[in-house]
Amino acid sequence: MAQHIELGKQGEQLAVNWLVDKGYAILHRNWRFGKYELDIIAIKDGLLHIVEVKVRSSTQFGFPEENVSKKKFNSIKLGAEEFLFQHPEFHNIQFDILSINIVNGTENEFFFIEDVFL
């Protein structure tokens, strides 16, 4: 498997572990509808969180969170709209980004940006 795929899978597992440690309940991982994918759907204190996970093994080309483009946000938004259509029990929603730097020889660095898409 390609190295960037492995890094992404490792990062998503680290993200799930980090969120659970912070009190989030994970509802879905890699939820898909058509061409849309939501990395993590979680709930905490009655608030639904759509979490986009970005992982890098170096900051040579910038920080992971800088890689969430307008196009990516639109895809996340459309996927979230479908999820909410399928699950009308959720009324309060928030979009977050969990950025993870995994650099060999150092402790993993987590940067959580809450409520990013207003």
pLDDT in tens, 25-63: 999 999 999 999 999 999 999 999 999 999 988 777 778
Inter-CA distances, 2 with 7, 34, 58, 103, Å: 9, 24, 17, 18
Fold observed for domain 3-62+73-106: Trna Endonuclease; Chain: A, domain 1 (3.40.1350)
Dihedral-angle region of residue 45 (phi above 0 means left; psi in -120 to 50 means alpha; beta otherwise) = left
SS3 state at 3: helix
72-111 confidence digits (pLDDT tens): 999 999 999 999 999 999 999 999 999 999 887 788 899 9
User: Which residue ranges make up each domain of the chain?
Assistant: 3-62+73-106
Sign of CA dihedral 110, 111, 112, 117: negative
Q: In DSSP terms, which residues pair with 32 in a beta bridge?
A: 37
